[in-house]
């Protein structure tokens, strides 16, 4: 009982500190993870075995960690999910290589030129582009590039980039919900429960597509007055922009495009080839580094703080799992629902959405994965249904506030840095109703389909 209380206290303090944003979140997570190992596992439980399970180094020694054959393992990963860590790190290295070659700047300028730099069609195109890119690249990276491009074009064409950034953040999170590689919560759910790229695409992808059809006109009507008033402001200097000027080296650009296409192909077919996402991440990193003249420079540019954040987070969550807190939570939900799948879906989707709106959806997803796994095992309900429910709840709920997802923080930070601060009021005025709308849509589609 004491170990449970201590594990909960450590986890709650970690959550509060992450929300307060007074200290680097990676440092908060690492301290929480270290406290879990020392205080919970060693002092309270006297269990070296729990430490071994939490660190989970031996999982990487299993052949199925790298090659799962033609059947994905559905075994629940406990402790640090090294598959997630390796995959994200590999994708970050690949994206840094693409960025260095000017791929993202070229893509944004090319799209802007195609619509003659008009704000209304540019607004719609950027929303769709944000959703599509986030299906294959993590939404944080997509927003980093699109927000910078929006601010740059806004200054050039004399329009307010804030509507662009708010809409892009939402559609990035929505597009990221469609695949396993799009949003960090989906990566956690997929790697922990053994789902493939196509598993997500066939299930959450359908919901995301319908959601995109709904939110594009929603955001257009929200911002139509601002966009229409700026529609004829295309400046002469814009016509001098050449997308090819963003390409630093044509050779590096071509190589980065080929690598990106190859990695996307591996992700799409990994369930058929048997290659795990960890292996795909390693392949992406190795090829990118091997084809770059300054591999150490790329490695230094990787967001290692996010990687460390994940590691500390997984250890802190393992404290809740090893002490039985998550099992008790699962039993509580089971008791409330009485094993009724409909009630379970409603509770999980709205609980996930509300929680993810106020705390980062990454730790919440990591916390809930073992909960739904336990619910499925104890109540006999389909794990797939609970997984898709959790994915949509965390991904879309995280869009509701500026701190709900890492992509939100990245986008609003870029806007503020360039003289366009986005207040909580302005952000939530548009994104909160959109989140409620898509969560309700997701709930209805899940209940009707499953």
* Residue 421, pLDDT score: 87
Given this model, what pLDDT does residue 255 score?
Answer: 94
pLDDT, mean over the chain: 85
Q: How far apart are CA 143 and CA 253, in angstroms?
A: 20
Distance CA(229)–CA(215), nearest Å, equals 21
- Whole-angstrom Cα distance, residue 315 to residue 304? 17
Residue 412 pLDDT greater than 70, yes or no:
yes
* DSSP assigned state of 245: G
Separation in Å, CA 396 to CA 38, 263, 356, 392, 442:
35, 26, 8, 6, 9
pLDDT at 188: 83
Other CB atoms within a 10 A radius of the CB of residue 48 amount to: 10
DSSP code of residue 67: B
How far CA 441 is from CA of 183, 368, 437, 445, 448, in Å, comes to 19, 21, 6, 6, 11
pLDDT at 71: 44
Q: What letter does residue 267 receive in the DSSP assignment?
A: H
- How many Å apart are CA 141 and CA 149, to the nearest integer? 13
Please compute the mean of the pLDDT values over residues 416-425 and round it to a whole number: 85
Quote the tokens at residue 353. 């959405």
Cα distance between residue 298 and residue 420, in whole Å: 30
**Letter string b/e over residues 132-155, b meaning 16 or more CB atoms within 10 A of that residue's CB:** bbbbbbbbbbbbbbbbbbbbbbbe
196 class by beta-carbon count within 10 Å (0-12 exposed, 13-18 middle, 19+ buried): buried
What is residue 73's predicted lDDT score, i.e. its pLDDT?
44
- Mean pLDDT, range 232-254, rounded to an integer: 70
Kindly tell me if the per-residue pLDDT of 146 is higher than 50: yes
pLDDT at site 407: 83
Taking alpha carbons only, the member of 120, 300, 344 closest to residue 221 is: 120
> What is the predicted pLDDT for the residue at 52?
93
Predicted pLDDT of residue 44? 93
pLDDT, tens digit (0-9, with 9 covering 90-100), for 36-84: 999 999 999 999 999 999 999 998 988 888 987 644 444 445 688 888 8
DSSP percent split of the chain into helix, strand, coil, nearest 5: 80, 0, 20
**Per-residue pLDDT tens for 257-271?**
999 889 888 877 876
DSSP state of 38: I
Residue 238, pLDDT > 70, answer no
Instruction: Report residue 167's pLDDT band, with 50, 70 and 90 as the boundaries.
Output: very high
φ, ψ (nearest 5 deg) of residue 67:
-140, 115
pLDDT per residue as tens digits for the range 176-230: 999 987 787 898 898 888 888 889 999 999 999 999 999 999 999 999 888 765 5
Average pLDDT over residues 109-116: 78
Tokens describing residue 256: 């980065």
Q: Is 275 helix (H, G, I), strand (E, B) or coil?
A: strand
**Residue 56, CA distances (Å) to 280, 393, 428 in order:** 20, 28, 39
- Cα three-residue angle 388-391-393, rounded to 5 degrees: 105
**Residue 69, pLDDT score:** 63
Q: How many residues does the chain have?
A: 450
pLDDT at site 47: 92
Does 320 score more than 80 pLDDT? yes
Report pLDDT for 78.
67
Measured CA to CA, the distance from residue 92 to residue 90 in angstroms comes to: 5
Phi first, then psi, for residue 20 (nearest 5°) are: -65, -30
The pLDDT-based confidence of 324 (bands split at 50, 70, 90) is confident
The answer for 92, left when phi > 0, alpha when psi is -120 to 50, beta otherwise, is alpha
**Mean pLDDT over residues 228-242, rounded?**
55
Cβ(329)–Cβ(45) below 8 Å: no
pLDDT per residue over 376-394, tens digit each?
888 888 999 999 999 999 9
Residue 100: its pLDDT value, please?
A: 86
Which pLDDT value is given to residue 229? 59
Q: Which pLDDT does position 72 carry in this prediction?
A: 44
Q: How far is CA 288 from CA 181, 199, 282, 301, in A?
A: 18, 27, 10, 13
The lowest-confidence range among 147-161, 292-306, 316-330 is 147-161
The Cα 341–Cα 344 span in angstroms is 5
User: How many Cβ atoms from other residues are within 10 Å of residue 63's Cβ?
Assistant: 8
């Amino acid at each position: 009982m004491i170990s449970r209380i201590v594990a909960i206290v450590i986890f709650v303090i970690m959550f509060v500190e992450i929300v307060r944003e007074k200290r680097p979140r990676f440092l908060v997570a690492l301290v929480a993870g270290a406290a879990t190992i020392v205080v919970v596992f060693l002092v309270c439980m006297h269990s070296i075995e729990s430490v071994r399970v939490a660190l989970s180094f031996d999982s990487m020694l299993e052949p199925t960690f790298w090659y799962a054959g033609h059947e994905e393992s559905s075994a629940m990963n406990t402790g640090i999910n090294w598959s997630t860590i390796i995959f994200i790190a590999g994708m970050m290295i690949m994206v840094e290589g693409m960025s260095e070659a000017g791929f993202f700047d070229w893509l944004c300028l090319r799209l802007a030129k195609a619509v003659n730099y008009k704000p209304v069609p540019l607004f719609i195109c950027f929303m769709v582009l944000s959703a599509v890119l986030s299906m294959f690249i993590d939404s944080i990276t997509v927003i980093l590039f699109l927000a910078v491009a929006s601010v740059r074009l806004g200054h050039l064409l004399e329009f307010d980039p804030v509507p662009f950034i708010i809409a892009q953040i939402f559609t990035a999170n929505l597009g990221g919900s469609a695949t396993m590689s799009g949003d960090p919560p989906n990566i956690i759910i997929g790697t922990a429960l053994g789902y493939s790229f196509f598993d997500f695409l066939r299930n959450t992808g359908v919901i995301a597509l319908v959601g995109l059809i709904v939110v594009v006109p929603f955001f257009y009507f929200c911002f139509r007055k601002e966009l229409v008033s700026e529609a004829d402001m295309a400046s002469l200097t814009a016509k001098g922009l050449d997308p090819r000027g963003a390409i630093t080296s044509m050779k590096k650009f071509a190589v980065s495009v080929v690598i990106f296409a190859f990695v996307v192909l591996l992700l799409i077919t990994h369930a058929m080839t048997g290659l795990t996402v960890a292996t795909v991440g390693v392949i992406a990193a190795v090829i990118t580094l091997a084809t770059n003249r300054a591999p150490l420079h790329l490695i230094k540019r990787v967001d290692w703080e996010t990687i460390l954040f994940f590691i500390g987070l997984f250890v802190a969550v393992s404290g809740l799992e090893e002490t039985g807190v998550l099992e008790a939570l699962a039993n509580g939900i089971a008791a409330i629902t009485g094993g009724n799948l409909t009630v379970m879906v409603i509770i999980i989707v709205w609980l996930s959405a509300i929680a993810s709106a106020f705390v980062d959806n990454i730790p919440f997803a990591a916390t809930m994965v073992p909960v739904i796994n336990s619910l499925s095992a104890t109540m006999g309900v389909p794990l797939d249904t609970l997984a898709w429910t959790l994915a949509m709840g965390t991904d879309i709920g995280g869009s509701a506030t500026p701190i709900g997802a890492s992509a939100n923080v990245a986008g609003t930070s870029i806007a503020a840095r360039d003289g366009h601060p986005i207040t909580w009021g302005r952000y939530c005025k548009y994104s909160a109703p959109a989140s409620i709308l898509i969560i309700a849509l997701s709930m209805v589609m899940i209940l009707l389909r499953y």
